[in-house]
């Protein structure tokens, strides 16, 4: 029986590694295997920022990948946690009664929603701000270079 609470926490804490996908769909889930790719690219972008500074164009393209992946996984955690027990059990616990224990909402499920909303919104806003700031600074630098 798949637990809605555990799936929400796995999406929040281990979502960028695909842990929630493997828990719900098994090791054959191709999207679960693809999720670590933008996570690794984003971490590589952070490493480039530390190594070359914020003026590195590749880093300001890679860093938001990590942020958007984390924000997407937080959204997934919220969606899992807000599913009704009937929806949850029909989708992830087929053959179980509609009110089976795996789909019940507990306090830990509510805390998964709260933390996912806080952290996901913060990461998403920071990713958008970082990428737009770097994009517009790059455009200004290019405009200055062309005008000289």
Q: How far apart are CA 38 and CA 18, in angstroms?
A: 11
pLDDT band at 95 (very low <50, low <70, confident <90, very high): confident
pLDDT band at 19 (very low <50, low <70, confident <90, very high): very high
Residue 61 phi/psi, 5-degree rounding, is: -90, -30
Q: Is the pLDDT of residue 113 over 90?
A: yes
> What confidence tens digit (pLDDT) does each residue in 114-147 have?
999 999 999 999 988 888 888 888 888 888 888 8
Residue 132 is predicted with a pLDDT of 85
Tell me what the mean pLDDT of segment 14-29 comes to. 93
Find tokens 């998964």 and name the residue: 112
Structure tokens at 16: 């960028």
Contact 16, 66 (CB under 8 A): yes
> What confidence tens digit (pLDDT) does each residue in 22-75 have?
999 999 999 999 999 999 999 999 999 899 887 787 888 888 899 999 999 999
3-state secondary structure of 132: helix
Task: Measure the N-to-C terminal CA separation of the chain; round to a whole number of Å.
Answer: 67
Contact 45, 59 (CB under 8 A): yes
Q: What is the pTM of this model?
A: 0.85
Q: How far apart are CA 130 and CA 107, in angstroms?
A: 34
Q: Is the pLDDT of residue 111 over 90?
A: yes
Give the CA count within 13 Å in the CB-facing half-sphere of 120: 22
Residue 138 is predicted with a pLDDT of 81
Contact 113, 8 (CB under 8 A): yes
């Amino acid at each position: 029986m798949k637990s809605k609470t555990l799936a929400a926490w796995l999406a929040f804490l281990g979502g960028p590694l695909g842990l929630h996908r493997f828990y719900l769909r098994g090791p054959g889930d191709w999207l679960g295997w693809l999720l670590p790719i933008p996570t690794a690219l984003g971490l590589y972008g952070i490493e480039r920022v530390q190594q070359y500074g914020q003026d590195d164009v590749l880093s300001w393209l890679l860093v938001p990948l990590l942020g958007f992946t984390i924000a997407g996984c937080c959204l997934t955690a919220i969606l899992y946690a807000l599913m009704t027990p009937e929806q949850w059990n029909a989708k992830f616990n087929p053959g179980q009664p509609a009110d089976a224990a795996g789909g019940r909402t507990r306090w830990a499920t509510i805390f998964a929603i709260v933390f996912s909303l806080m952290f996901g919104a913060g990461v998403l806003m920071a990713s958008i701000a970082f990428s737009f700031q770097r994009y517009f600074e790059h455009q200004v630098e290019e405009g200055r270079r062309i005008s000289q």
